Structure 1
């Protein structure tokens, strides 16, 4: 068993180390990489323990030493994931996302941000425990079970829905990718969507840089705030030179930054956010455009050479894989939906349970069958989690994932891995496992949520599965016109745009992919001469207070600059008037080498638009 433990530790470490090296941005601090890698290590280790736990628990005579060792591993991984979920990752994430200029200030902001969550969670937990104790349904010894049950219920509420969506979308995505022509058309439309996102990202980046440049003009060299604005300018100019934002017009709401420390923090936060979004949008756009062009080129070469057999073999192979995944999805949904049901002639409809019983004493067969279903189980869940549009700016991007996104990913994995593993073990219908006898043993003392919730709630996943498969979810939302609710809960590939938008995206994408409309790649005019007022939106000012457009529209740009200069004069500082802008707008259309690759051309374009 010692060798098994070492093997799990080594495999988990290698996977975590590779993930950090592949995804982390160069700007990520070392302590963030260590925290994220450690969190991933325990999550991967927990998943790897499941097949062995099932294989050992399925034997008629369970080895006592192995059961004790597995119980110890479960306790370590479970409670470490619990700590990373609720303590380490949130505090570090708030620390790295803070835009304060000193370590002390960032740590103070992190504590203030999390203390309210901890206080509310503690109050609710204590009230719930006292209510159960005085009602006679819980003893003092069952308090750890309440904590375990609360974490499991919260995770299971989300895991079942994410799993249901993934069980539909994973086979559907594989089937869609099998036909290169259909996938190329789908990807071309998505290129048009990403093109619009890149335009917005470049516009926001230029506005943020223009704000930093103009703020620098307002603050004198002897002012105490000068070091802060210089630091902001240094950070933003590493991505875009200030000469590229000379003609950018700044809207009313963009000027809502006080000339004090809080205002500098808010401005730095906006600049950092603009840089992160720009890098992410650029990566998505470049990767997809290159992929589509290479796919079309490869398809053209195969068609010209008459190698239709290769195309047919590829298509049939992927479709066979999609059908296999669909069968596994149906098996899992059937198992989830019949956990609480008993039929006269079919007491067990769980394919996972049947495989465990058939393999019985076959150690390798049990381990492999459980591992295959478990990996598909996890893949569908996390595929759904980070395709949600609320995570569209926080998903993992190779070499460009910032510290906050890494910590958010690690926190989500740590939060949902334990409920996911517990739900999977429930599908095996084993009465006793090392997990249920160790880390989750106290949970059995909690009425309903500790014993029965994991059996009855997965039925909701079946309804959600069919709702996603037949698009009933989107139909109901659109019928009741819950537009805001729909846009926040939809997934990245959901077609929530109207027909006009879809047609426009397809036209944009075709212009980029085929190279017919080269002006689509010219982002140079984006943000220049545009009035980014944010009409209709609700924003936050320099102190985090809400501001609406109606409150601010009476103050035009000139009045705001005048007020800013008056505030600086009261503080005894001097401001220099900005020089008139007489230079003509430079064209950012890059001169591209016709022999260059698609990736090289796109890199040249992005360098040109920021020059």
Structure 2
């Protein structure tokens, strides 16, 4: 049992670390990275716990260790989702100048959310009391049931998104013509977003500079203004290619930030949000443009394969560095293999993967729709587990393989849930 833990746990931690490194920005605080990493680890702990739990259930062994880890995962996720993450989100979003004030702002911003949830819970307790329900010390169980119900209902609404959209998106991406049209639309859309984000960023910089210029050194708010000035200077140093332009579309109340500490905090928050939105839009725009150019490069190589001798020639990317890179750029076997992969195999493999994920989606729906207590195994997962018997390694490998196969569907569902929560907020 512990052998599986020693293998699966480092792989899961490594996957979380790699994801953090890919998505995290350079200015993300350490405590945010630690919180997000721990939350992702709790969310992905099912990759380790489910195979072990299935094996202990089949063999009838004691579930002490598995039960402890399930409790750790559940309560960690519970506390993170309902308390820690909302507080940290509000804290990082606040523009106040001290830790105490930022915490106050975060708590006040989350009070409405907590009041709504608390009202629903209080209504449920009152309803149970009216129905003369025998509590028997089951308040904790009631809270867990409410949390599970929320997760199951929300997941039921959003699961279909991942089950259908992933196979369709992969199939569409394999079609070069359709993918080029989609990327052209994305580039045009991101161009507009980047222009708007840049304009807001320039306007905010203009407001900050004008406010700082009109504020005397003896002004009681000058220390707060100095913090904002230093933050702006650091932003401009981190992006030396940025050139201030525009900034003339200011509203009437854009110069009213020097009245008290709260308005200065609002100015600081506005500057940070404008900078983050500009960097986010610029990154998305660059990614969309590069993906469109790379796809056009691939199509060009495919259409001119006879003239180039079935070699992948790209003027878009830079030459590989080092002696080995220069050798690979000029070796015929490598360029031929790269052409075969990019221009012939990749889109066909995407179609095969799309069909495979579509079959997995159908198998998941079949398994959820046929939860019969008759002993009839219509679930492919159930058939697979029963086929390997009580062999520990085979059971864990089968369960882990099944999880890995539909893990993209789960991640797609989590992405849809995140998008849903952002739209609500």
* TM-score, normalised relative to structure 1: 0.58
Deviation at 1:49, TM superposition (A): 0.7
Paired position in structure 1 for 2:154: 158
Query: Which sits farther off after the overlay, 216-225 or 353-362?
Result: 353-362
Tell me: CA distance 1:170–1:186, structure 2 relative to 1, closer, same or farther (3 Å): same
Distance 1:246 1:117 in 2: 39
Deviation at 1:120, TM superposition (A): 4.7
Tell me: CA distance 1:159–1:107, structure 2 relative to 1, closer, same or farther (3 Å): same
Give ranges in structure 1 of 5+ residues lacking alignment: 395-487, 490-611
Distance 1:352 1:138 in 2: 39
Paired position in structure 2 for 1:301: 301
Deviation at 1:13, TM superposition (A): 3.0
Counterpart pick for 2:228 among 208, 228, 232: 232
Map 1:81-96 onto structure 2 (within 5 A): 81-96=77-92
Contact 2:91–2:103 (8 Å) recurs in 1 = yes
Paired position in structure 2 for 1:328: 360
Counterpart pick for 2:384 among 355, 358, 362: 355
Tell me: CA distance 1:372–1:254, structure 2 relative to 1, closer, same or farther (3 Å): farther
Distance 1:138 1:203 in 2: 62
Distance 1:5 1:297 in 2: 44
Map 1:115-264 onto structure 2 (within 5 A): 115-240=111-236, 244-245=244-245, 248-252=248-252, 254-255=254-255, 257=257, 259-264=259-264
Paired position in structure 2 for 1:49: 49
Q: Does 1:23 align with 2:23?
A: yes
Contact 2:211–2:255 (8 Å) recurs in 1 = no
SS of match in other structure, 1:259:
coil
Distance 2:3 2:381 in 1: 27
Contact 1:342–1:348 (8 Å) recurs in 2 = no
Deviation at 1:296, TM superposition (A): 1.3
Deviations 1:29-78 (Å, cap 9, x if unpaired)? 22222222222222222332112212332x2x4122xx222111111211
Distance 1:152 1:336 in 2: 17
Distance 1:53 1:321 in 2: 29
Tell me: CA distance 1:150–1:247, structure 2 relative to 1, closer, same or farther (3 Å): closer
Distance 1:95 1:347 in 2: 52
Query: Which sits farther off after the overlay, 328-337 or 350-359?
Result: 350-359
Deviations 1:5-35 (Å, cap 9, x if unpaired)? 4545433333333333333222222222222
Q: Does 1:63 align with 2:92?
A: no
> What is the CA RMSD across the aligned residues, in angstroms?
2.9
Paired position in structure 1 for 2:349: 317
Distance 1:41 1:272 in 2: 29
Tell me: CA distance 1:371–1:7, structure 2 relative to 1, closer, same or farther (3 Å): closer
Q: Does 1:103 align with 2:92?
A: no
Tell me: CA distance 1:6–1:129, structure 2 relative to 1, closer, same or farther (3 Å): farther
Contact 1:205–1:275 (8 Å) recurs in 2 = yes
Distance 2:186 2:113 in 1: 38
Tell me: CA distance 1:179–1:365, structure 2 relative to 1, closer, same or farther (3 Å): farther
SS of match in other structure, 1:141:
coil
Contact 2:170–2:350 (8 Å) recurs in 1 = yes
Deviation at 1:166, TM superposition (A): 0.9
Contact 1:210–1:245 (8 Å) recurs in 2 = no
Distance 1:377 1:136 in 2: 44
Paired position in structure 2 for 1:282: 282
Paired position in structure 2 for 1:534: none
Contact 1:195–1:285 (8 Å) recurs in 2 = yes
Distance 1:6 1:366 in 2: 17
Deviations 1:396-453 (Å, cap 9, x if unpaired)? xxxxxxxxxxxxxxxxxxxxxxxxxxxxxxxxxxxxxxxxxxxxxxxxxxxxxxxxxx
Contact 1:8–1:45 (8 Å) recurs in 2 = no
* TM-score, normalised relative to structure 2: 0.81
Contact 1:133–1:140 (8 Å) recurs in 2 = no
Contact 1:162–1:380 (8 Å) recurs in 2 = no
Tell me: CA distance 1:218–1:152, structure 2 relative to 1, closer, same or farther (3 Å): same
SS of match in other structure, 1:146:
helix
Paired position in structure 2 for 1:506: none
Paired position in structure 2 for 1:39: 39
Paired residue total: 388
Distance 1:123 1:309 in 2: 61
Counterpart pick for 1:366 among 386, 395, 399: 395
Map 1:511-550 onto structure 2 (within 5 A): none
Paired position in structure 1 for 2:321: none
Tell me: CA distance 1:274–1:303, structure 2 relative to 1, closer, same or farther (3 Å): same
Distance 2:366 2:346 in 1: 30
Contact 2:202–2:247 (8 Å) recurs in 1 = no
Deviation at 1:391, TM superposition (A): 6.9
Paired position in structure 2 for 1:543: none
Contact 2:257–2:267 (8 Å) recurs in 1 = yes
Distance 1:86 1:377 in 2: 27
Query: Which sits farther off after the overlay, 43-52 or 267-276?
Result: 43-52
